[in-house]
Every structure is written in structure tokens, then in C-alpha cells.
Amino acid sequence: MFVTRYGVGEPVVVLRTGKGGIELFSRMVNAEAGLNPFVLQDSYFIGRTTSEITPNALKYGAQFTEILMPNGITLKVMYDPTKDNPRYYPEKVPGTNYSTESFTFDVLDLGVTDAAPAGARTRSNISMVYEEAYEEYFNVSNVYDIRTGAKKNGENVAMLDKQAGIYRGSSCGLAVWDTSRILCMPYNG
């Protein structure tokens, strides 16, 4: 996956996943950190909390969401709520309350690429692309006319309140310039 990367210390690689994948990532990093011969600072894991039992109550725990890899690569998890939606993914992983898709990792490499077009504003591998010269503006008003402030009499209104909104619409999409730098790691049981 990192064959087309050049240099070191490029930006973050995002692992898009569900709650199950985030917990799995944290457990894997925790297991790796437990093998680390260096001393970990416990103040990151222990903190004060309030309790009716004692005025000196403490809490313990942490969840890893990021790991630094060799050559400056950073892996970071990002929560995707659609992966936990039972309407889209009804099949559960045995022994959990999570869908199989919740443990799937979509790997998105956001680093710099030579595959971006010559006139692009950014060299990022994944970019938002807007259609040139296409924008529309519109407004929505309710009881009061947004242009004059006068009360509408007899006109259709969206709701019976004083709110109004001005909206801008654009035609855009997400462009992945180098598709060899993204992948999906599905749950295999």
C-alpha cells in the first residue's frame, strides 16, 4: 500500500471503522504497548473522579485511537456510524452486539501524491473536487419574508416560527487520485 509514498513523516493514514473496530484497534495497541520495554507514565491512565464513597476517588483506563509507526507514519481510527447501523448490516459477530461491518477497516491514505492533476490546489491523495461555475443560492423562510421582514399572509410556510435560512448548493465529489493507496480490510471471523 505504501509503495507510491515518498519521503518520511507524511500525514496521517486514517482507518475508518465502527465501534467494534475502534475497540479492536485499542486492544491491539494496548497489547503492543504492554510489550514495550520503556516505562509508561501512569498519569495518562489514572485521574481523579467524583464519588459518594470517598473524596479521594480515582478512575483508571484509556482507549488508544492513534499509533505512531516507523518512518513517521501515523495510523488513526475514525468512527463511521454507518458501520454500526443494524438496518444496513444486520449480521452480528458472535459473542458481541456489533455488526460484522463494525470490525471492517477502510484504510485511507491522505498523504501527498504525484497522481493529483497538475492544476490541483493540493497534492493530497484524497481531495474534495468542485464543479467549476456551478453554485446555486436559495432561501427558506417561515412566518416572515426573509427579504422584507414582513409577515407572510396566506403564503405557504415551512414551519410556524420566525426562523429563516440562506443556503448555498454546489456540485462536488470526493476524488481519490491514487487508488492503490486505499483498501478495505473486511472482518473474516
As a whole number of angstroms, the distance between CA 165 and CA 49 comes to 43
The residue whose grid cell reads 515518498 is 6
Of 31, 30, 29, 24, the C-alpha closest to 103 is 24
Sorted by sequence, the CB contacts under 8 Å of residue 84 that are 6+ apart come out as 18, 19, 20, 98, 99, 101, 102
Intervals of the chain under pLDDT 70: 1-11, 37-44, 142-144, 146, 149-163
Per-residue model confidence (pLDDT) at position 154: 58
Q: What is the domain partition of the chain in residue ranges?
A: 8-110
Please give the Cα distance from 103 to 34 (Å, whole number): 23
DSSP strands (E only) in 44-149: 46-48, 58-60, 66-68, 74-79, 105-109, 126-141
pLDDT of residue 168: 83
Return the pLDDT at 20. 95
Per-residue pLDDT reduced to its tens digit, 33-48: 777 766 555 566 778 8
DSSP letter for each residue of 16-27: EE-HHHHHHHHH
| This prediction's pTM | 0.66
Determine the pLDDT at residue 6.
52
In the chain the first and final C-alpha atoms are separated, in Å, by: 23
CB neighbours of 170 closer than 8 A, spacing ≥ 6?
A: 130, 131, 134, 135
pLDDT at residue number 89:
94
pLDDT at 104: 95
Q: How many CA atoms lie within 13 A of 19 on its CB side?
A: 11
SS3 95: coil
d(CA 89, CA 102): 9
pLDDT of residue 102: 96
